[in-house]
Structure 1
Amino acid sequence: MSRGNYILEMKNIQKDYFGNKVLKGVNLSVKKGEIHALLGENGAGKSTLMNILFGMPVIHSTGGFEGEVLMDGEKVDVKSPNEAMKLGIGMVHQEFMLVPGFTITENIKLNREITKHNIISKISIDCLKSLDIEKMNSDSRKALDTLGMSIDEWLKVEGLPVGHMQFIEIAREIDKENIKLLVFDEPTAVLTESEAENLLCAMKKIAESGIAILFITHRLDEVIAVADNITILRDGEQVASLRKEDTNVLELAQLMVGRKIESLNKKDNVKQENREIIMSINNLRVSMPGEEVKGVNIDIKKGEILGIGGLAGQGKIGIANGIMGIYPSKGDVYLNGESFKLNSPKDALKKKLAFVSEDRRGVGLLLDTSIEDNIVFTSMQINEEFIRRYGPFTQLDHKKIRDHAAKMIKDLDIRCTGSDQITRRLSGGNQQKVCIARALTMNPDILFISEPTRGIDIGAKKLVLDLLVKLNEELGMTIVITSSELLELRSICHRIAIVTEGKIEGILNPTDSDATFGLMMSGDYKKINSKEVL
């Protein structure tokens, strides 16, 4: 055992993807029986660090990493999740990895079944052994008891409450004989408050048994409740390593999001309360898998840039997708004071709304057609523009299409060989500009744009953000930007709505404190204010 009884040591971990450095010398040490919290916004580097720990193929297929990983003081080179498991590293996933038709015991013992001899196996070969159900049930009962679960181990998983499923995931991991380190990835995200409290108690029991826990979460009150030590990542860098006793929720929130904000929106903000409301959204619910909206209320003001932020899976992406009719939605929405029909993309487009999807390549573009066809496609379908009519016959107006595409290419500075170039061959930033060009061709009153800079380089990001500011300032266009990049929202938006657990946690000004943004994103702002702990 290494000095300090460290189960895991990750030293000076560096990783880049095709020249983009995503981890910049991160150090992480976890002791036997310790609960160590790992914090950071989306894109901070947590997932990449865990991919290295578990030897995921994405790491090795992209050139590996720099630095050292040690288990029990011995350097290891983990090439696959199977090797990680043999070293005693387990993972409790946010998404359940259970077989619904199997019993609890069968799920806990899957791929680690206990067998015993029967009459046939004794006189032939071992592969004909029977399952030792009694021993398997006994082991499962022991794991469930450790977690304080009184549920019968022979019940089928199908139909059980979500909280029970999470505990079964944990029971499967602690049942493994050699388990030394358990990674909990947002384990309370799908749990009720009481279930989450039970889980935190179970984590303490597991740690008391000598198993180390790496706790990845965005709920800062839970960190303070159970963690011994805390590591915070931001933009791939390790910005803090703290003992729980030496910090508080406010400081953690500030450390998670704190960074210099450079405003791209040079125009002084008009007093927001004086702006006319262009769209009012009341109790919006959207059934978007992984981004469910559970009752959003917000007013969009004419001529503003409204940001919608929050952590992944909290529902921020679902708002625009619901308004535009991409996913089933319900609620009361009013556009310019008139009732707005949901669940109809065609109606939304006819009402002068435009949408640039977060899924640029899957939804936003016709990748194997030309730039010009992509730019005019929606307008042709909805507004019947760029079409010549000859009695009952129609024909594409190729000159008008090409002239309009050329103007858009010039105005948006789309780097290409010409408007007839196939869209797939453009860079990510230029593909995004083609998406925006298509939306602008609809002459929208409101432009919804999701993750506008995802997957494009730093230079292209600034060009896209500058373009959105220009559209707002020069054309007075109302723009609603949904983004995981809080820095970008704070640099160009007039107001920023933070979404947590499918609802609006609060609406902030870009200049509000890092701590306030961090608390809202973690879902702790209302809790702390109600307790007057601030």
Structure 2
Amino acid sequence: MEAPRLELRDISKEYFGNKVLRSVNLSVAPGEIHGLVGENGAGKSTLMNILFGMPVIRNTGGFEGRIFMDGEPVEVNSPYDALELGIGMVHQEFMLLPGLTITENIKINREIVKDNLFSKLLGKKLGILDFERMKKDARKALDRVELNIDEMLPVLGLPVGFMQFIEIARELDKESLRLLILDEPTAVLTEKDAETLIEVMKKLSREGISILFITHRLNEVLRVADNITVLRDGEVVGKLPSSEATIDVLAELMVGRKVDISARARRGFEEDAKPILTIKDLHVDMPGERVSGLSLNVREGEILGIGGLAGHGKIGIANGIMGLYPARGYVHVANHGEVELNSPLSALSSGMAFVSEDRRGMGLLLDETIELNIAVQALLSRGKFLKKYLLNMIDRESIRKHALKMIKDLDIRCTGPNQIVRRLSGGNQQKVCIAKALTLEPSILFVSEPTRGIDVGAKKIVLDLLLQLNQELGVTIIMTSSELAELRSICDRIAIIYRGRLQGILPVDASDKEFGLMMAGELSAVKEGVF
């Protein structure tokens, strides 16, 4: 009988007395796609950090248990050890160097060097980079993930979806690859791009490469995985072939209770409601997500979904209006007037708030506390949490009280409001971003990929919260998402962006064919009054 490609035996880990993994056992066969699911904080990322030899494991006392590759015990004390064993990993948070080109990122630490006169005399360290061969390798890897982009572009400024494919291409470029760990690889991808990645995974599996697929998208893991392991609170609570699993079964195993993941009832809004946000001829220079003359009215009190394929500008709309990328055009907020573009303060002062798709790059102060992250934007732009004396002083008691409320309402898994945000799991970092935006008490809330990297239980909390803000507090919500099903679940209507412009607006119950044709630019439904 063939030995497992990977076997984890009795893996346990604790951080400062907190047991995060308890005797975890997991086995992956050669060429198997093995799904690993669980709530945020269940221990998935810690388990993968152990397998990839990340320094945080060694620096916090190591771990208990043993790792086997192809039946042989191995020691993985560093990422270098993992690479030598043929283990590749695409982390949930990007590991690219933004100042380098795509080719340089794909070939980093494996650069191809060619000889010159000096290297022949004094050694290979004086050789020069063979960019032609490196570009050729990078192009081959990018083609494998079907990413049609110039391999010599700098990574800085690219959309997060593009960066995810570049991360994966970097691992595929490694000839010794035997086991590929994918930590939430589809979280930032559109449905079409996620389909592409799933086909890539199947192809790699047929080539004999084993894949550990960590995801919160349960429908994807059911489609592509051969077997599924479920973690809850650091323990394995379920192991089953995908043929015997359902979304309901997995969700209940993950959270320890039944989870209602059906579509939510939407509150009807007035069809003739006045516009609260008017956008005319908006142009945004966001690399990879440029907006090229968008015009759109957003009705007061609605939840408007914004969808479209990656690279067509849906992500650029909120980023441009909120002043994060160069923009021009006309943006008007009812009761506030025209918004000065290229000015984040003007956008915030107009009653708008933004939850960015790039939580680490744009959304958080990673080395500050949860309570400061939640309060800082409202403190600086609105003067909240200040004691009004002769000299304004920060009301730390008020900040703490509000942070505790947000932690409870959003179920932020943490040790307390003074925990450093960098030490939270990715999903809990996303919840802090949402809490920060809600603290501004906006009349208009832009949310871009709000459930990226969040598990099924937490996703319901976030989407329910958005509905509650809309229905009980009257907040107008503009939600950008790569998941059409997510948009359909809470939105009143969905605007599709194609080549930087509004292609049309569809009701949520429109057919998949209509949405597909519109995203491909083959159908237009811009009705009178949209502009």
Q: Please state how far the C-alpha of 1:130 moved relative to its aligned partner.
A: 9.5
Amino acid at match of 2:8: M
Residues 353-362 or 92-101, more deviating: 92-101
Query: Which of 129, 149, 152 is 1:158 aligned to?
Result: 152
Instruction: Report what 1:327 is aligned to.
Output: 325
Instruction: Report what 1:231 is aligned to.
Output: 228
Residues 326-335 or 253-262, more deviating: 253-262
> What is the rounded CA distance, in whole Å, between the counterparts of 1:362 and 1:59 in structure 2?
23
> Pairwise mapping of residues 289-438 of structure 1 onto structure 2 (< 5 A)?
292=289, 300-303=298-301, 320-329=318-327, 333=331, 335-336=333-334, 342-354=341-353, 362=365, 377-379=380-382, 398=389, 412=402
Instruction: Report what 1:8 is aligned to.
Output: 6
Does structure 2 retain, via aligned residues, the 8 Å contact 1:285–1:292? no
Amino acid at match of 1:57: P
Q: Please state how far the C-alpha of 1:315 moved relative to its aligned partner.
A: 8.8
Q: Deviations over 1:284-332 (max 9, x none)?
A: 775667x95768998644345678899x999987654432212334677
> Pairwise mapping of residues 270-289 of structure 1 onto structure 2 (< 5 A)?
270-271=268-269, 273=271, 276-279=274-277
Instruction: Report what 2:87 is aligned to.
Output: 89
Amino acid at match of 1:56: M
Does structure 1 retain, via aligned residues, the 8 Å contact 2:36–2:214? yes
> Pairwise mapping of residues 505-520 of structure 1 onto structure 2 (< 5 A)?
none
> What is the rounded CA distance, in whole Å, between the counterparts of 1:321 and 1:269 in structure 2?
28
Instruction: Report what 2:33 is aligned to.
Output: 36
Going from structure 1 to structure 2, the CA distance change for 1:78 and 1:287 (only over 3 Å counts) comes to farther
Q: Which structure 2 segments of 5+ residues have no match?
A: 145-149, 156-161, 406-415, 422-427, 454-458, 521-531
> What is the rounded CA distance, in whole Å, between the counterparts of 1:282 and 1:449 in structure 2?
20
Larger Rg: 1
> What is the rounded CA distance, in whole Å, between the counterparts of 1:219 and 1:90 in structure 2?
22
Instruction: Report what 2:68 is aligned to.
Output: 70
Amino acid at match of 1:36: I
Instruction: Report what 2:147 is aligned to.
Output: none
> What is the rounded CA distance, in whole Å, between the counterparts of 1:16 and 1:145 in structure 2?
42
Does structure 1 retain, via aligned residues, the 8 Å contact 2:57–2:63? yes
> Pairwise mapping of residues 428-507 of structure 1 onto structure 2 (< 5 A)?
439-440=440-441, 444-448=442-446, 476-478=474-476
Does structure 2 retain, via aligned residues, the 8 Å contact 1:113–1:131? no
Does structure 2 retain, via aligned residues, the 8 Å contact 1:96–1:166? yes
Instruction: Report what 1:242 is aligned to.
Output: 241
Does structure 1 retain, via aligned residues, the 8 Å contact 2:191–2:483? no
Q: Deviations over 1:159-192 (max 9, x none)?
A: 6999997897456411x4xx53344664998899
Q: Deviations over 1:311-362 (max 9, x none)?
A: x999987654432212334677553498755433343244333457756653
Instruction: Report what 1:173 is aligned to.
Output: 174
Please state whether the residue corresponding to 2:28 is helix, strand or coil.
strand
Q: Deviations over 1:238-292 (max 9, x none)?
A: 766435xx389xx6799579962499x9x99455757554235689775667x95
Going from structure 1 to structure 2, the CA distance change for 1:254 and 1:465 (only over 3 Å counts) comes to closer
Does structure 1 retain, via aligned residues, the 8 Å contact 2:281–2:330? yes
Does structure 2 retain, via aligned residues, the 8 Å contact 1:13–1:66? yes
Residue 110 (structure 2) pairs with residue 110 (structure 1): yes
Going from structure 1 to structure 2, the CA distance change for 1:502 and 1:74 (only over 3 Å counts) comes to farther
Q: Deviations over 1:85-135 (max 9, x none)?
A: 23232346876679979999x9499379799xx9988xxxxx8479999xx
TM-score, normalised by the number of residues in structure 2:
0.53
> What is the rounded CA distance, in whole Å, between the counterparts of 1:112 and 1:89 in structure 2?
21
Going from structure 1 to structure 2, the CA distance change for 1:477 and 1:183 (only over 3 Å counts) comes to closer
How many positions carry a matched residue from both structures?
A: 458
Please state whether the residue corresponding to 1:398 is helix, strand or coil.
coil
> What is the rounded CA distance, in whole Å, between the counterparts of 2:217 and 2:369 in structure 1?
40
Q: Please state how far the C-alpha of 1:73 moved relative to its aligned partner.
A: 2.3
Q: Please state how far the C-alpha of 1:77 moved relative to its aligned partner.
A: 3.8
Q: Please state how far the C-alpha of 1:72 moved relative to its aligned partner.
A: 1.9
Going from structure 1 to structure 2, the CA distance change for 1:314 and 1:432 (only over 3 Å counts) comes to same
> What is the rounded CA distance, in whole Å, between the counterparts of 2:418 and 2:251 in structure 1?
35
> What is the rounded CA distance, in whole Å, between the counterparts of 1:470 and 1:37 in structure 2?
37
Does structure 1 retain, via aligned residues, the 8 Å contact 2:451–2:462? yes
TM-score, normalised by the number of residues in structure 1:
0.53
Please state whether the residue corresponding to 1:362 is helix, strand or coil.
coil
Amino acid at match of 1:81: P
Amino acid at match of 2:350: K
> What is the rounded CA distance, in whole Å, between the counterparts of 2:346 and 2:119 in structure 1?
71
> What is the rounded CA distance, in whole Å, between the counterparts of 1:256 and 1:498 in structure 2?
30
> What is the rounded CA distance, in whole Å, between the counterparts of 2:206 and 2:193 in structure 1?
22
